Amino acid sequence: MESLRGKVAIIGVADTEVGIVPHMSATQLTIDAALKALDDAGLTKNDIDGLITCNSFAEPILYHAEAMAEYLQIKPKLCYSVLTGGGTTFSLVEHAAAAIVAGLCHTVLIVTADSLRSGLTKEKAMTSQASTGHPQFESIYGPTVPALYALIARAHMEKYGTTSEQFAKIAVACRKHASLNPAAQMRELISVEDVINSRMIADPLHLLDCSLISDGGAAVIVTSAERAKAFKQDPIYLLGVGEGHHHEHISQALDFTTSGATDSSKLAYEMAGLGPKDMDFAQIYDCFTPTVLVELEDLGFCEKGEGGAFVDSGAIELGGALPINTHGGLLSHCHPGHPGSMFALTEAVKQLRDQAGERQVKNAQTALVHGQGGIMSSHTTLIIGREVS
Amino acid sequence: MEALKILPTPTIETQIFWDACQQEKLLVQQCKECEHVQFYPRLMCTNCSSREVGWIESSGFAKVVTYTIVHRPILPAYQKEAPYILAVVQLEEGPTMMTNIVNCNHDSIKCGLQVKVLFQDWEKGFLVPVFEPI
Ligand SMILES: [Zn+2]
């Protein structure tokens, strides 16, 4: 099998305005992100011969990617939409890379956007949330998305002695980073006490252990490593990628405290020829605080069961050994649903280009970006860097 | 009108399971080739892929694998009962399933707690399996 290592690079990234954006529809956010990413790369729409999108929940379209191509008036050779939850956006980078290496196309625009905050009726928002889980064997028992992640949190607490304070520290770190990011939806600093004292949603998860509900979109442009040097930004190379899929419904999970991130990261590290210690920072999917804690372990940044102690050490804050979610993450930057993880990738690219302003990780060369979807269901790990060494 | 809980819509694949619940029996599938026991109902054995999958009645005994106490449900029918316990339990026969733990003090719920199935009439006489401490 041919490795994707170093074969493609990200040459353009962009975010739309995020947070509460009632003046733009999900489709407009998609197009806005696409145009901004083209500007960032110094490309025109006619340079794009591959388009991959993620359907919107607020404004769903039957053939979403085709509709976006028509809206833009481009005629790509590769055009489709993917929906695998929060891990979606990183799988798309893998698929784009594979398509480019296989010669199916040369420059792929990946764009995702949604308006979960402003674009849904209250009824639609409620129905969609209440229908979480297996329709016959889970939904009937009244789970909510936070409740399904609370099952993970509780299992980890029971098995490894992890505490609510340790979960809270993840929310505090993300907020601290968001406070340095003018684009973030929530920028006011919070303390561990603020998290613990916020309203209980599904024990042990408090309101501030839960991510935001937002509007927003983001795009990245991927091309072959040979072409990548010709554009206006420093290319950021794909060094490793892998996926891991263990279940869909949490009641069918093989293990409640270890996830498919073990598989996805193993593949990504092997492809990159790198390990956890080589990462200058990481963007780790943070729909809820326990998600991050379990992933820190599964991605190899600490031993299984040591996630709480790792968080206690301060490693995950800017200035620490492994700053995470430097833009503020889903917990504090924004979370428009399926597109949410894309902002972790655009942020990682900006960090590696040394364009992250006040929240810049000094001399950042290599980063890990991890997305997961469902309820710890589908996992994709990317390793990207400034150099292919 | 009183707010209703979500009721399952049985399918070709799950009708036997839900019919048995109405007789207060908890069924799981067992493979006739390799004896693997599984839940939820499927066309094939997840262990050996055999299509020769039959039904056995579970003892109804289980232990709590993990749980949460839901304070902020979405739908009014569930809000009425909040806070309530949502759990994943492992049946004595092996498979795991999601359920509610009822008749249980919220201070005494813990992982590993031994529980037993009972059937609750949710709406219009439709019985749903839930669990309570032994
Ligand atoms: Zn079998």
* Strand ranges for A148-233 from DSSP E: 200-203, 205-206, 215-224
Q: Which residue on chain A is closest to B101 by alpha carbon?
A: A141
pLDDT of residue A223: 98
Best of A120, A123, A132, A141 to mutate (most B CBs within 10 Å, chain B)? A141
pLDDT of residue A1: 60
pLDDT digits (tens, 9 = 90+) for A362-371: 999 999 999 9
pLDDT digits (tens, 9 = 90+) for A228-258: 999 999 999 999 999 999 899 999 998 999 9
Q: What is this model's ipTM?
A: 0.97
Residues 6+ away with beta carbon under 8 Å from A62: none
CB contact burial B8-40 (16+ within 10 A = b; e otherwise):
beeeeebeebbebbeeebbbbbbbeeeebbbbb
pLDDT digits (tens, 9 = 90+) for A373-384: 989 999 999 999
Asked whether residue A126 carries a pLDDT value surpassing 90, the answer given is no
Q: Give the minimum alpha-carbon distance from A75 to chain B in angstroms, rounded to a whole number.
A: 43
Task: Indicate the domain borders of chain B.
Answer: 15-133
Number of domains chain A contains: 1
| A253 contacts in chain B (CB < 8 Å) | 88, 96
For tokens 């993880």, what's the residue?
A: A341
Q: Taking CB atoms and an 8 Å limit, are A154 and B73 in contact across chains? A: no
Centroid of ligand 1 to alpha carbon of B32 (angstroms): 7
What's the mean pLDDT when you consider all of chain A?
95
Rounded to an integer, what distance in angstroms lies between the CA atom of residue A164 and that of residue A217? 32
Give the DSSP H or E segment for A145: helix A145-160
Q: How confident is the model at residue A86 (pLDDT cuts 50, 70, 90)?
A: confident
Q: Give the minimum alpha-carbon distance from B55 to chain A in angstroms, rounded to a whole number.
A: 17
What CA–CA distances, in Å, run from A374 to A30, A132, B5? Answer: 22, 9, 23
Query: Can you read off the two tokens belonging to residue A61?
Result: 């379209």
pLDDT digits (tens, 9 = 90+) for A18-46: 999 999 999 999 999 999 999 999 999 99
Q: Give the minimum alpha-carbon distance from B75 to chain A in angstroms, rounded to a whole number.
A: 7
pLDDT digits (tens, 9 = 90+) for A269-319: 999 999 999 999 999 999 999 999 999 999 999 999 999 999 999 999 999
Q: Which of A130, A201, A252 sits opposite B72 (nearest CB)?
A: A201
pLDDT digits (tens, 9 = 90+) for B19-74: 999 999 999 999 999 999 999 999 999 999 999 999 999 999 999 999 999 999 98
% of residues, chain B, pLDDT over 70: 98
> Taking an 8 Å Cβ-Cβ cutoff, which residues of chain A contact chain B?
126, 129-131, 133-144, 146-147, 150-155, 158, 199-205, 249-253, 256
Give the range of the structural domain holding residue A317, as residue numbers without chain letter: 8-119+212-385
Q: Taking CB atoms and an 8 Å limit, are B40 and A137 in contact across chains? A: yes
Ordered DSSP codes for B2-45: ----------TTTHHHHHHHHTT--EEEEETTT--EESS--SS-
Asked whether residue B13 carries a pLDDT value surpassing 60, the answer given is yes
Q: Which of B8, B73, B81 sits opposite A136 (nearest CB)?
A: B8
pLDDT of residue A48: 98
Centroid of ligand 1 to alpha carbon of B52 (angstroms): 8
CB A21 within 8 Å of CB A339? no
**DSSP designation for B47:** T
Asked whether residue A174 carries a pLDDT value surpassing 90, the answer given is yes
Q: Give the minimum alpha-carbon distance from A85 to chain B in angstroms, rounded to a whole number.
A: 21
Q: Give the minimum alpha-carbon distance from B66 to chain A in angstroms, rounded to a whole number.
A: 5
Which CATH number goes with the domain that contains A277? 3.40.47.10
Nearest of A385, A380, A373 to residue A278 by alpha carbon: A385
| Backbone φ, ψ for residue A245 (5° rounding) | -130, 115
| A145 contacts in chain B (CB < 8 Å) | none
For tokens 């990481």, what's the residue?
A: A282
Compute the C-alpha angle B112/B113/B118, nearest 5°.
130
Rounded mean pLDDT of A321-347? 96
pLDDT of residue A78: 97
CB contact burial A301-310 (16+ within 10 A = b; e otherwise):
bbeeebbbeb
| B6 contacts in chain A (CB < 8 Å) | 130-131, 139-140, 142
pLDDT of residue B2: 63
Rounded mean pLDDT of A138-155? 96
In a domain, A143, yes or no: no
pLDDT of residue A121: 83
Q: Taking CB atoms and an 8 Å limit, are A158 and B110 in contact across chains? A: yes
pLDDT digits (tens, 9 = 90+) for A203-228: 999 999 999 999 999 999 999 999 99
In a domain, A163, yes or no: no
Q: Name the least confident of A39-43, A102-106, B75-79.
A: B75-79
Rounded mean pLDDT of B108-134? 95
| B39 contacts in chain A (CB < 8 Å) | 137
Rounded to an integer, what distance in angstroms lies between the CA atom of residue B116 and that of residue B110? 15
Centroid of ligand 1 to alpha carbon of B30 (angstroms): 8
pLDDT of residue B1: 52
Best of A136, A209, A246, A247 to mutate (most B CBs within 10 Å, chain B)? A136
Strand bridging mode A107-115 / A50-54: parallel
In a domain, A142, yes or no: no
% of residues, chain A, pLDDT over 90: 91
pLDDT of residue A132: 81
Written as one letter, the residue type at A125 is A
In a domain, A61, yes or no: yes
